[in-house]
Structure 1
Amino acid sequence: MSEHGTWQPHEITPRSAGCAATVDGLVEHLREVDLTALLTAEKALVFRGFGVEPGALDPVMDMVLPNRLAYVHGNSPRTKVGRNVYTSTEYPAPYTISMHNELSYAAHWPARLLFYCQIAAATGGATPVVDAQLWLESLDPEVRAAFAGGVCYQQNLHDGLGLGKSWQQTFETEDRAEVEAFLDGTGANWKWTADGLRVSQVRPATTRHPVTGVEVWFNQSDQWHPAALDDEVARVMTQVMSQDELPQSVTFADGSPIPDEYVFQVRDRGLDAAIDVDWRVGDLLLIDNVLVAHGRRPYTGSRRILVAMSD
């Protein structure tokens, strides 16, 4: 393990920032710091103790997310609750969401993600975060070499009735022409089918940060691979459907299968190296989406984490 194994998100409180324990105090502090430099250096920032209410989120988001993005071409189920503000992935509470960089399977991804805790879980529900360079370094050389050529993601998006997300939900439009124009700009292969839309796209398994140049693990092969599906519905799907029929699947870029044991190693080492951010109501977490991957621990009770993203 490299020296990055001691990495932790950087916590900012009213005391450490020397400002009032209010939203206005946080906004004033953000005006005074070079947030881009700070986030690049620290990779993830946790803001605690500022008493941020849901109705006061916009001024904070305007400071930390220069260009709030829509969750277009996103594959996880979530609900839009404001101006490009969404619930975090609506996946059943008993299950872990493994580590991933948001939209790393897409042609374009957000540079930053901001999470906000509106309702904290009764137990569990932490957001684990991992240094994506450390994650890459933790993988066996054999696995890293196997992924060097990249991966191919495939989606089957139904037309309003079926498993997984519809193409209308995925692209936030009812207009096929808009979808076609978007996909043509991504280099993806796509075709309309009797049931909806099939999309396939080859992407690299790693990327480099635009400022630091550091290479990081940057793909979602473990989340798209049938072997890693851990809820009952997903298990049944893999038994009754071929891989080409699944809502989403992944192979190596040349179409050859990714061994199950590679997928398990990627998933487990990312989770093992992760640091849990435990939530209190009003907390915010800002991450560099290339330098840091995130996930979700299982939980009990109600939990509502909102998320927004920016380029």
Structure 2
Amino acid sequence: MNTKIQPISDGIGQEIINLDNVNILELDKEQIVSLFKSDGILLFRRFDVDTDTFKEFTNLLSIDFRNYAGGAFSRRVINGDQTLLSVNDFKSEIKLHGEMYYQQNIPLMLWFFCANTPLADGETTVCDGRQFFNEISSSTKELFNKKKLKFTVSISKEEWQKKYQTDNLNTLKEICQKNNTHLIVNDDQSILIEYICPAIIPSRCGKYQVFINSLLPTKQLSSKILKFEDNSEIPEEVVFELNEIAEKITTEISWQKGDILMIDNTRILHGRRAFADDQRDIYIRLCSPAFSF
């Protein structure tokens, strides 16, 4: 089949480029799975893909598509499909992170689709959490081994009903229980939620350590909600070190219309550069792989 495979950049991912009108739905699934397992991130480029084809292609390789209940941002639903969401709710930079790592129940796999390119900027940023771990100083590794991260968020009744897509307190309690999240309900039905998790996790195969979490964007956007589990502050020099590493090992993906990005959310961190125009339209699907790791 007439495609070209090359690294996305030095040291991360593979780019599968269409050279001759190949139908993306006819690509060799076994080859895709093999590349994905070894690299954790694949970029499909120059295929003739619209939103329906994107959904059809992702359905071939994924299961357990989910909505964004419990998510940190507001996301526009595309064509009435709760599993197809826009990621353009605001335009500022988002630091590297794993998707939904402020709760236990994360999507194991992510798909991004470029429905429309930005006029300028707005690149998606990615890096390998294995490499990130290797770059961290031993003193910071030791700190993260001793102390877990703790997210503490106060949410009004109206806000949690929107965030968790329910107005039923018992449903909310079930969601929090499944996510290992401590829930306090106040008299006015506003809530306080607390979630504790490690900053570093073992890889799926158990051979590697992976730095993947929601630390950097939380420190960037809502600094007060994140501390260590003993309520001590995360030192500024540690956050500075992590941001320095992130910039050093980040790969930027400049979107082309129809691009599809496939990401292992247990290994690859992603983020976004700021942009200013209203043209950029990137969609996301949250799911699990339809194959074993």
TM-score by length of 2: 0.87
Displacement of 1:253 after TM fit?
1.5
1:189 aligned onto 2:144 = no
Percent of aligned pairs sharing the same letter: 20
Using the size of structure 1 for normalisation, the TM-score is: 0.82
The within-5 A match list for 1:232-247 is 243=224
Residue 270 to residue 195, structure 1, CA distance change in 2 (3 Å): farther
Q: CA deviation at 1:56?
A: 2.5
* Alignment partner of 2:210 out of 202, 206, 216: 216
Alignment CA distance shift 1:290-1:177 (3 Å) = same
- 1:224-255 alpha-carbon deviations (Å, 9 max, x no partner): 23xx33xxxx7xxx8xxxx4xxxxx1111211
Instruction: Give me the whole-angstrom Cα distance separating, in 1, the residues matched to 2:183 and 2:234.
Output: 22
Equivalence map 1:22-37=2 (5 Å): 25-30=23-28, 32-37=29-34
* Stretches of structure 1 lacking an aligned partner (at least 5 in a row): 161-165, 244-248
Task: Give the Cα separation in 2 of the matches to 1:174 and 1:65.
Answer: 30
* 3-state SS, counterpart of residue 238 of structure 2: helix
Q: For residue 212 of structure 1, report the CA deviation from its aligned partner.
A: 5.4
Matched, 1:20 2:21: yes
Q: Which amino acid aligns with 1:167?
A: W
RMSD over equivalenced CA pairs, Å: 2.0
Q: Which residue, 45, 50, 67 being the options, matches 1:48? A: 45
What residue number does 1:151 align with? 149
Amino acid of the residue matched to residue 84 of structure 2?
A: V
1:275 equivalent among 236, 251, 264:
251
2:287 counterpart of 1:290: no
In structure 1, what is the equivalent of residue 164 of structure 2? 171
- Tell me the distance in 1 between the aligned counterparts of 2:10 and 2:17: 21
Q: Which runs of 5+ in 2 are unaligned?
A: 1-8, 289-293
Aligned residue number for residue 6 of structure 2: none
Cα distance in 1, alignment partners of residues 172 and 207 from structure 2: 33
Q: CA deviation at 1:134?
A: 1.1
CA distance in 2, matches of 1:214, 1:33: 24
What does residue 4 of structure 2 align with? none
State the secondary structure of the residue aligned to 1:255: coil
* Aligned counterpart in structure 2 of residue 254 of structure 1, from 230, 234, 250: 230
Preserved CA contact (<8 Å) 1:87 1:304? yes
- Look up the match of 1:163: none
Structure number having the greater strand percentage:
2
Distance 1:109 1:36 in 2: 20
